[in-house]
Amino acid sequence: MDDRQLLETIRDLIGRRETSDDCAVFPIDDGKRMLVSTTDMLHETTDFPKGMTEWQMGWMSTAASLSDVASCGAQPTQILIAVGLDCAERLKPIMEGAVACAKACNAQIAGGDIDSHTELTIVTTAFGIVEKEFYCTRSGAKPGDLVCITGRPGAAQAGLDGHSGYWENLVMPKPQVFTGQRIARAGASAMMDVSDGLAISLYDMGEASDVGFVLRENNLPLLPIADAKKYFLYGGGDYGLLFTIPREKFVKMDVPVSVIGEVVEEPGVFIGEEPVEKHGYAHVWS
């Protein structure tokens, strides 16, 4: 059983909408704005590669939640951070990294919880606010829309696998909060981050929007490394944004993005006519 199958066992209990996007949503200001929120658990053995500093662990944990807020088109406001510590001395550099990441996104670490734990465990919860008309989710992609990404998916995985020059992509990912807001305001029809890998993110967005995707091989911003296409499709840990947008709205955008294909009616993900495998980062439960 993988994460997605496990989630399926509680979807009816929590609600399908509540379990289908990275952020929860709550209307405020008489429904004119939406409060979005998201929580992410990271811990040492699974999420923090050897060689990372505590400062980077604090940064990465905070970035994980801020990236989800960014994918809604929202401006993050506050972050809560719960830290389970195996050693008290690790707290301060972790919090310094968390504060730095929050500040870089014009957000604030507003509180948290400290606990002792056998394994270093960091859970961040981020809040953000977005005008109702610009609020983006995974559903909303329409046939004919362009499919776009920011950055170069695969870079974090390349860093993990020892490709030189990509370590920082892995340990200090930059949540695209300002770019996300510009994309949302331009009129994106759907948006999410690609932290689980681009291929699985496309499948997730396709299912949520009831559409498929055809990518153009020549338009993919591949890294200059061996197996570049594999990294591009299946590498995890990048916090770039995947979004769809009607053609006529795209022209008005002033954001550095790559148009990698278009939305089609038929479900599935293809590069030209070649189907893309449906997998990405997912823990397998024994």
Q: Does 228 bind its own copies (CB under 8 A)?
A: no
SS3 of 144-182: the string is CCEEEECCCCCHHHHHHCCCCCCHHHHHCCCCCHHHHHH
CB of 150 to its own copies, least distance (A): 23
**One of 29, 133, 168, 266 touching its own copies (CB under 8 A):** 29
- Check if the beta carbon of residue 239 is closer than 8 Å to that of residue 192: no
- Check if the beta carbon of residue 239 is closer than 8 Å to that of residue 195: yes
Q: Rounded to an integer, what distance in angstroms lies between the CA atom of residue 60 and that of residue 173?
A: 6
Give ∠ CA 173-176-177 in degrees, rounded to 5: 125
For the record, the structure tokens of 2 come out as: 């993988």
Q: Does 1 bind its own copies (CB under 8 A)?
A: yes
Those residues with Cβ within 8 angstroms of residue 16's Cβ, 6 or more apart along the chain or in another chain: none
SS3 246: coil
Q: Does 90 bind its own copies (CB under 8 A)?
A: no
Q: Does 39 bind its own copies (CB under 8 A)?
A: yes
Interacting span for its own copies (CB under 8 A) from 84-92, 246-254, 258-266, 273-281:
84-92
Q: Outline where DSSP puts E strands in 167-219.
A: 190-193, 212-215
CB of 66 to its own copies, least distance (A): 14
For the record, the structure tokens of 8 come out as: 């399926």
Interacting span for its own copies (CB under 8 A) from 88-96, 197-205, 232-240, 262-270:
88-96
> Is 21 known as a binding-site position?
no
Q: Does 96 bind its own copies (CB under 8 A)?
A: yes
> Is 161 known as a binding-site position?
no
Q: Does 196 bind its own copies (CB under 8 A)?
A: no
249 forms beta bridges with none
Q: Does 256 bind its own copies (CB under 8 A)?
A: no
SS3 202: helix
How far are the Cα atoms of 35, 154, 183, 232, 247 from residue 178, in angstroms, in the given order?
17, 21, 9, 23, 22
Q: Rounded to an integer, what distance in angstroms lies between the CA atom of residue 200 and that of residue 282?
A: 9
Q: Does 82 bind its own copies (CB under 8 A)?
A: yes
Q: Does 86 bind its own copies (CB under 8 A)?
A: no
For the four alpha carbons of 86, 92, 94 and 95, in that order, the dihedral sign comes to: positive
> Is 29 known as a binding-site position?
no
CB of 286 to its own copies, least distance (A): 8
Contact characters 105-144, its own copies, x per CB under 8 A: ---xxxxxxxxxxxx-x-x-x-x-----------------
Q: Does 21 bind its own copies (CB under 8 A)?
A: yes
SS3 278: coil
Annotated binding site: 22, 38-40, 47, 68, 112-113, 138, 193, 195-196, 281
Annotated binding site for substrate: 47, 281
Name the residues that contact its own copies, by CB under 8 A: 1, 3, 6-7, 9-10, 13-14, 18-19, 21, 23-26, 28-30, 35, 37-43, 45-46, 77-78, 80-85, 88, 91-92, 95-96, 99, 108-119, 121, 123, 125, 127, 283, 285
